[in-house]
Amino acid sequence: MGLLRFALSICVLGLALPAVVPAALQVIEGPTPIQDGEAKSAGDITVVNEKLAFALAVGSPVPYGVPRGAIVDVAPVVNGKIGRDCVVFADFIPDNWSAWPNTFQRIKILERGPARVVIRTERDWGKVLITTLYTLKSNADSVQIRTTMTNGGPTLSGLLSGLTLWPKGGYLFAVPGLAGVARGTTEGALADRVVAYDEHWTVALHAPYADHISDGSMDMYRLHTLAAGHAQAFDAWLQVGSNGDLKPVIAAEIARKGLVSGIVRGAVTAGGKPVETPVVVIEKQGKPYAWVLGHHGEYQLTLPVGEYAMYATAKNYSQSPPTAVQVAAGAAAVRDFRDLQVPGGIHFSVADSRNGEPMDARISITEGQKPLVEFLGRKTFFTELESKGEIEVQIAPGDYLFSVSAGGGFLAERLRIKLKVTPGQVQAASIAVTPLFDPPLRHWYSADLHHHADQAEAVTPPQDLARSQLAAGLDLLFVSDHDSTVNHGPLQTIAERRGMAFIPGIELSASWGHFNAYPLRLGQKLAIDTGTASIDDIIKEARRQGAAVVQVNHPFIPYGYFTSVAAGVAPGGFNPTFDLVEINAGAPADDVKVLQALWNFWNAGHHYYLSAGTDTHDVWQDESGSVRVFAHIDGAASAEAFAQSLKAGHGYVSFGPLVFPSVMFGDELKVKPGEPFVLGFDLKSVDGLKQAQLIGGGLVLKTESFSGMPHEVHVDFPLATVRAAWYALIVEDAQGHKAYTDPVWVDAVASPFAATAR
């Protein structure tokens, strides 16, 4: 009875305990027992053994509009207890996140144990049958995955196909040798695996077939041709661990490839005392290869034979100097690390130099220790929400150069601050920032209109999203999580405490296009399945939730809406009832395509206008507001007023320059045919102005270059026209950052009234 009362009290209090399963391999049909799992349907399938659990979405929708049958949950199992979900999605992608036309999904359990479980999924991708076998053996820490593409249609070439690993929180250790490579070939790779990790879990995707990566190694692809009537197989392993140690990952790699190996072991101390939880990082050919977690000041790791460099560190500790080691077959090398320094600290205070008022700021390490293993210490910090302008951080001892930004480089210069951190001591650092510009004084307000918090693969809690957007000098808070509105409430509360407006949004995410809808009524929940919805369904759902604006996100990427419409794979085809088209910071090569598309619309008299967003998922890696949209609002800056201003074309997009027009963008100027008129612009830039180009009808009509790269300049463009026309501006600063404006419409009419704006 005591146990029953305890269980009832837990239910009443709403507390979640780890699911406990028998220590054996089994299949569970129905909602997954994985904590925070997304497989919640009665038809979903979870497979559990002594080491791991994974769940397939059979009835539940799959993120990003992918057809059902994908792995949507993965968790470690420790002592019979299933842990928290570590992934958003781990599945096969037939061609680089392009649209996935699909008519069926078939899922069958072929074996139920006790020695192993085998599940087969079948899905179609156009004329291609995609069959995946998932195999999990008793006591194994890896799911074996074999996917076969069988082509029942014409030959397909240039495909990028393979398994993906999109983690749910945590960090990503890219394919060794390819760190910093967003996409490209695997030339130079030191291994064929990518690892998602945190202190309490690892999920490694071993993909020996891969010759290309994308999305910073989250996608492991093979570039190939699939001939008519032919089939190709892709073998991979999804390995799960219960802490942030890569020792099992390396062991699996050695076993799978049959590599000859040896051992490295040793001790790690600081001030003569053992470091309780040291981390020893291994480099190969001068690049990070792996790491091992130590315990009570000792570590041991098996490595393939070869030459390596190693260094030791710990959470906010210094890094030891690297030491070389030769790993020989069957031998044990000893490397001790005895010179670590304990953490120090800095209390940052950031204020306006003119009046001493505290300022929100982003503080990043430019030079100094940046931990490879990211749970050992941050590289970027934000001042607090409640204590504006203040933040105290623990950090490894050493010499640092920090970059301090209040306003994101749009409103004030970024400062560079040198500091020396002393072990065991906290020092104060007071930083004075001088704002150069204040657009709200001229009724211009900015927002980053494509920004994620902590849903799907995004890792930014709402309070940190707010800290990042405030540090960027944005005037309105904004969020657009994938198919989720759960962060609207927390961000509304933060915005109210700060006395600013919040724009609640959502990114409606089909496999053939993504759309931001905003501002939404609070408390709304998604009422459609974006995996099966048409464009008509998506726009109808956006309007149902109260959206004044539907924005086409990154329209020309492989799964962008305009790309899918052109390929004939967007359900419902072209729906003209969207409002804005996005300039996306993550797709800079597409800026020209977006502008050309809009210019073509404007030439045809269609009033679609610009928007912009960073598509930030992780504020510690990417900078909020690095591209932003400015809107002109005559009254108070509210979510609805901001959206309506953009919808009316009263805006521009900027990576840095500021633009203040004499005739409002989106307005119509009536002139007499052939009579001269002038469009004037005040231009400003923290980095200095290089040039301004006047665009008319999609062509560059005039270019004004500015000598000396001034921070502020006024430019006039004398014009005349005998017909209806539009004019827009492209401004470039000294760093090559650009601003793109909506058009000023000009109507040349035979009228006694000239040069009057409507």
Interval 305-318: pLDDT, tens: 999 999 999 999 99
Average pLDDT over every residue of 679-687: 98
For the chain, the average pLDDT equals: 95
- pLDDT score of 114: 93
Least confident span in 20-34, 125-139, 264-278, 564-578 = 20-34
Backbone angles phi, psi at 64, to 5 degrees: 65, 20
Residue 666 backbone phi and psi in degrees, to 5: 90, -15
Residue 9 in this model has a pLDDT that exceeds 50: no
User: What is the Cα–Cα distance from 164 to 455, expressed in whole angstroms?
Assistant: 18
* 3-class secondary structure, 106: strand
Return the pLDDT at 474.
98
pLDDT for 750: 72
CATH of 260-334, one of 3.40.50.1370, 3.40.50.1970, 2.60.40.10, 3.10.110.10: 2.60.40.10
What pLDDT is recorded for position 539?
A: 98
Please report the pLDDT score of residue 16 as a whole number: 43
> How far is 626 from 737, CA to CA, in rounded Å?
10
pLDDT (average), residues 548-561: 97
- What is the distance between the alpha carbons of residues 380 and 382, in angstroms, rounded to a whole number? 7
Angle at 182 between CA 181 and CA 187, to 5 degrees: 45
Domains of the chain by residue range: 2-253, 260-334, 344-433, 439-654, 656-758
The identity of residue 151, as a single letter, is N
Q: How confident is the model at residue 12 (pLDDT cuts 50, 70, 90)?
A: very low
Burial class (CB in 10 A: 0-12, 13-18, 19+), 601: middle
Q: What is the mean pLDDT of residues 709-725?
A: 97
Say whether pLDDT at 718 is over 70: yes
Average pLDDT over residues 135-141: 98
What per-residue confidence (pLDDT) applies to 11? Answer: 30
Among 3.40.50, 2.40.10, 2.70.98, 1.10.3470, what is the CATH number of 2-253?
Answer: 2.70.98
Residue type, 716: D
Q: What is the pLDDT of residues 575-599, one digit of tens each?
A: 999 999 999 999 899 999 999 999 9
Quick one: pLDDT band at residue 24, thresholds 50, 70, 90?
A: confident
Task: Locate the DSSP E strands across 174-243.
Answer: 184-185, 193-198, 201-206, 212-214, 219-226, 231-241
Residues 6+ apart with CB under 8 A from 1: none
pLDDT score recorded for residue 20 = 60
- Tens digit of each residue's pLDDT (9 = 90 or more) over 491-521: 999 999 999 999 999 999 999 999 999 999 9
- Considering the domain 344-433 in this protein, what is its CATH number? 2.60.40.1120
**Distance between CA atoms of 504 and 640, rounded to whole angstroms?**
10
Dump pLDDT digits (tens) for 432-445. 999 999 999 999 99
Q: How far is CA 34 from CA 47, 53, 366, 513, in A?
A: 10, 7, 40, 30
% helix / strand / coil in the chain, to the nearest 5? 15, 45, 45
The percent of residues in the chain predicted with pLDDT above 90, rounded, is 95
3-state secondary structure string across 584-617: ECCCHHHHHHHHHHHHHHHHCCCCCEEEEECCEC
- Min mean pLDDT across 15-24, 400-409, 510-519, 647-656 is at 15-24
- Predicted confidence at residue 18, as pLDDT, reads 56
- What predicted TM-score, i.e. pTM, was given to this entire model? 0.93
pLDDT reported for residue 571: 97
Would you tell me which CATH number, out of the four given (3.40.980.10, 3.40.190.10, 3.20.20.140, 1.10.760.10), belongs to the domain 439-654? Answer: 3.20.20.140
Q: Is residue 54 over pLDDT 70?
A: yes
Between 260 and 754, name the one with better pLDDT: 260
CATH fold match for the domains 344-433 and 656-758: yes
CB within 8 A of 445, min separation 6: which ones? Answer: 439, 475, 476, 630, 631, 632, 633, 637, 642
Q: What is the pLDDT of residue 1?
A: 32
Average pLDDT over residues 563-576: 97
Between β-strands 26-29 and 87-89, what pairing exists: parallel, antiparallel or unpaired?
A: unpaired
Query: At 339, is the pLDDT very low, low, confident or very high (cuts 50, 70, 90)?
Result: confident
CATH of domain 656-758: 2.60.40.10
How confident is the model over 185-243, as pLDDT tens digits?
999 999 999 999 999 999 999 999 999 999 999 999 999 999 999 999 999 999 999 99
Q: How far apart are CA 139 and CA 141, in angstroms?
A: 7
Residue 21 pLDDT > 90: no
Cα dihedral sign, 85-89-92-96: negative
Q: Are 529 and 66 in contact (CB under 8 A)?
A: no
Question: pLDDT, tens digit, for every residue of 602-630?
Answer: 999 999 999 999 999 999 999 999 999 99
- State the pLDDT confidence band at 4, using cuts at 50, 70 and 90: very low
pLDDT tens digits for range 455-482: 999 999 999 999 999 999 999 999 999 9
Q: From 410, 511, 477, 423, select the one nearest 62 (Cα to Cα).
A: 511
CB atoms within 10 A of CB 157: 9
Q: What is the mean pLDDT of residues 101-126?
A: 96
